[in-house]
Amino acid sequence: GGKVCDRIKAAEASGKPFFSFEYFPPRTPEGVENLFQRMKRMVQHGPVFCDITWGAGGSTADVTMGIADRMQNEVGVETMMHLTCTNMPSEKVDEALVACKEKGVSNILALRGDPPKGQDKFVAVEGGFACALDLVKFIRSKHNDDFGICVAGYPEAHPDVIVEGDKEATEKAYWSDLEYLKQKVEAGAEMIITQLFYDTDIFLKFVKDCRKMGITVPIIPGIMPIQTYGGFKRMTGFCKTYVPQTILDTLEGIKEDDAAVKAYGIELGTQMCRKLLDAGTPGLHMYSLNLEKAVLGILGNLGMVTLEAPEKPLAPPQEEKKEAVAAV
């Protein structure tokens, strides 16, 4: 495959906003097959790339690898694979990179990763990496320019360093986080995808702050449509995401009504993305949660994809629901 950052630069030059989809590895073989059916439909809309996440603590390494291979070679979409440092000694990381090369997967999202299950703090494993910066340096030193490297950006600082209720400490943490992001870019990262957010001004300020610090690579917002009330509360709690009061109030009034929550998720996502695009954001990275309705609904509202009537009946809804719940 080619480098995603080159495709993004080409898209930016054309002035046409682009989009990409993120997926996670399902827990069962049937789940994987369902995902591929859905992905094949979604990819027909022309995402610039798609990415697949790496399970907590490297728990899905083989599944992720297998999915990345099929995405690149069977679905035929430019594929980015997440790689995290959790439970990964450097030789294991290298095995993954060599396997990627063999399969033609040329794009990596380098992350530190969450602490292994049951642990609060991230600790490097013996012979492993302490942070994403080490991972970026390792990929560049071992594999030169063979991979396009993407890293994560945190518009509200990394959840680990956010001090809730202490604005000053959080502000300080935010700037040191940006300093660290700059180091990741200097070490070889060619693009940045952000953590989810629900206040577009926070993202736009983050981009300005990055540019002020001399970070010049593309910065793509990560868009997480609200799909279920419970999932939204869990996700924003885990990431310590700031949620504007109007959004919380609206959800409070409809939280018992799943269909209303989904519809609101599409409406809010559309408003947010429109603001971002109007402000000059070059593209949108859509966290699909392995579901198609919300992300395609938003892109359809924005006129970025044309939604045809589905040709064949979609998978029965209860299955889709079950998997989405397991995911969040």
Report d(CA 192, CA 225) in Å as an integer.
20
Report d(CA 82, CA 99) in Å as an integer.
14
Known catalytic membership, residue 22: yes
Q: How many alpha carbons fall within 13 Å on the CB side of residue 302? A: 27
Report d(CA 135, CA 184) in Å as an integer.
9
Q: At what angle do helices 258-278 and 200-212 cross, to 10 degrees?
A: 30
Q: At what angle do helices 90-103 and 132-143 cross, to 10 degrees?
A: 60
From residue 132, give the alpha-carbon distance in Å to each of 124, 139, 181, 183.
11, 11, 10, 10
Which residue matches tokens 């018992």? Answer: 256
Residues in the chain: 328
Q: What is the distance in angstroms between the CA of the first residue and the CA of the last residue of the chain?
A: 30
Active-site annotation holder among 12, 22, 102, 179: 22
Q: Facing residues of 52 across strands? A: 23, 81
Give catalytic residue positions. Answer: 22
